[in-house]
Amino acid sequence: MITPLAYFTLFVVGIWAYQNNPTFHERTDTVVLRLENYVRQLSGQNTTSKQETSQSQTSTIDESGGGGRWVKNSTTIYIAIQNQTLKNALEDAISQWNNTGAFTFHITNDKDKATVIASTMDDSSNQAAGLTQMSLDETTGHFVSGKLYLNRAYLLNPTYGYSYQRIVNTAEHELGHVIGLDHDSATSVMQPAGSNYTIQPIDIQNVQKLYSQDTASNKASSTVASN
């Protein structure tokens, strides 16, 4: 019960921080927070009321956040991950997205030059294999920064049986959120169950569609159409 509340608190604290920082408040109105529930799918029958609580709070936050995209189809990412398996998986996932040509992640070794920070968390109580938190300027519909987390407690715990490929898929899914993709129930890396699929043609098409538009106001209708 503690962890969903902790993330909700983080979200509220985040809003508070923006409201009390006039400079940042001008730029950033909304935080899009996505707490993944992959592990819930893995544990299957082991669904408890605790997981339901996590699910409903995540949905609430997602709805308040809405969508978003970067100004251009590229961003700069700093990888603050020590574990070699997770670091390799994220780098492979970045290469996979870059190979699509639809979006480019530039890896930087200078944290100050990065707009996206990728790191790990170690939380066995939140049922989340990954977490993406995007700051969005609602007046333009553009992201201003983002944070991506891979959860060591699940991805590296043999109990949950994550193969290396499924860790890469999880990283690709989280990067999809960083790009601006929503969940997709089709055969897609963005399936909410997560980690079963790598990047699919429909995912590339959705990114191309998202970044072929000039204004944020067109985005909502296009996203609905792509589902």
Give the rounded distance of the alpha carbon of 105 from its chain centre.
14
Cα Dmax for the chain: 48
Instruction: Draw the binding track, 21-60, toward Zn ion (x: CB under 5 A; -: no contact).
Output: ---------------x------------------------
- Least distance from Zn ion to the Cβ atom of residue 22, Å: 32
What's the CA gap between 227 and 224, in Å, rounded?
6
Closest Cα to residue 181, out of 140, 146, 139?
A: 146
> Considering beta carbons, is residue 18 or 168 the nearer one to Zn ion?
168
Q: Where do the DSSP E strands lie in 82-181?
A: 104-107, 116-121, 130-137, 142-151
* Min CB(188)–Zn ion separation in Å: 11
Closest separation between CB of residue 128 and Zn ion, Å? 9
Report the residue number, 18 or 93, with the smaller CB distance to Zn ion.
Answer: 93
Q: Give me the least distance between CB of 219 and Zn ion, in Å please.
A: 18
Cα–Cα distance for residue pair 93/173, rounded to 1 Å: 9
Complex with Zn ion: residue 18 or 177, whichever CB lies closer = 177
- Contacts (CB under 5 A) with Zn ion, residues 66-95: none
Q: Which is nearer to Zn ion, 36 or 203 (CB)?
A: 36
Q: Residue 120 corresponds to which amino acid?
A: T
Q: Which residues form the interface with Zn ion (CB under 5 A)?
A: 36
